Amino acid sequence: MSSANIKTNPAENKVQHLIEIHGIGKDYQDGETKVQAIKQMDFYIDDGEFVAIMGQSGSGKSTLLSILGGLNHPTRGRILLDSLDIYKLSSEQRADLRSEYIGVIFQSFQLIPYLTVLENVKLPMAITGKKAKEQDKMARDVLEKVGLGNKADRLPDQLSGGEQERVAIARAIVNKPPILLADEPTGSLDSKTADEILNLLKELNEEGQTIIMVTHNPDACKDTTRTINVKDGFCYVN
């Protein structure tokens, strides 16, 4: 099978994209067998886009997202974020980059159970040196935005699934990162709540937020600007 890159990003192309993916691949060693989770992918994402990465379970989409998030070193290829090759940075520099540039909405929310909703939202700011008052204001503002202004002092396990997802979104956007990565944000929600979450993401995108969302649900892609299909370690960009 060959790579079916519809939109590639040749070197001579002078246009600067927010994210450029050049020939990335990821191999895993499973015992004595080498598994190619991602064989080859080339695409780009522009500022303000809402891109869905679609694929079946095991297609490599989650691996792709973790590589995009600076969390998983690709075996080959490079990723440019604002022209910066992120895997040429040290792991600590990449941590700083994640803190400043990337907000992540994890699959199954991944909230810290012993922190309140407000504290969970403030978590990314714990390392930014922002003053307590400023942190409080920013956290409360985003909680208002996701519709949880009145539940700031609850613990995560006192919230419904949809509400926990909203907290996860609030936490991901509180530092105003240019890029928002969402891993199956509707995966564990009923269809009504899933719609609400997708509407929220759409609103954020309309306000200028770049969003890259991994999903296996085609319904989740109806409001995205672009869909990248991932299959057998290759990507097919629509």
Partner 1 sequence: MKLHNISFNNLGRRKGKVIFLVLGLFIGIATIVTLLSITESMSRDIEDRLDQFGANIVMVPRSENLSLSYGGVSMGGVNYKTVEFDEARIPEIRTIENSNNLGLVAPKVLGAATVKDKDVLLMGVDFETELQLKNWWQFEGAPPAAPDELLIGSQTAATFQLAVGDSLTIGGDDFVVTTILKPTGASEDGIIIGDLHAFQKILSKEGKVSMVEIAAFCRDCPITELVLQISEKFPEAKVTALRQAVMSKMQSIEMFKTFSYGIAVLVIFIGSLLVFVTMMGSVNERTREIGIFRAIGFRRGHVMQIILLEAMIVGLVGGILGYLGGNAIALGAMPLVIKDGAFAGFNYSLGGIAVLLSIALSLIASLYPAQKASKLDPSEALRAL
**Number of neighbours of residue 68 by Cβ within 10 angstroms:** 24
Smallest distance, partner 1 to C-beta of residue 14, A: 31
Q: Which is nearer to partner 1, 12 or 92 (CB)?
A: 92
- Do 145 and 176 form a contact (C-beta atoms < 8 A)? no
Smallest distance, partner 1 to C-beta of residue 146, A: 17
Which tokens in the block code for residue 150?
Answer: 């009145």
CA proximity to 117, closest of 50, 68, 166? 166
| Cβ neighbours of residue 55 closer than 8 Å, sequence gap 6 or more | 61, 214, 216, 229, 230, 231
Q: Which is nearer to partner 1, 106 or 236 (CB)?
A: 106
Smallest distance, partner 1 to C-beta of residue 219, A: 21
Q: Which is nearer to partner 1, 15 or 132 (CB)?
A: 132
For partner 1, the binding residues (CB under 8 A) are: 62, 65-66, 69, 71-72, 91-92, 95-100, 102-104, 106-108, 110, 112-115, 119, 122-127, 132, 135, 171, 183
- Do 122 and 132 form a contact (C-beta atoms < 8 A)? no
Q: Which is nearer to partner 1, 96 or 203 (CB)?
A: 96
Which tokens in the block code for residue 132?
Answer: 């307590």
Q: Which is nearer to partner 1, 177 or 233 (CB)?
A: 177
Smallest distance, partner 1 to C-beta of residue 192, A: 24
- Do 229 and 235 form a contact (C-beta atoms < 8 A)? yes
Which tokens in the block code for residue 167?
Answer: 């907290």
Smallest distance, partner 1 to C-beta of residue 1, A: 26
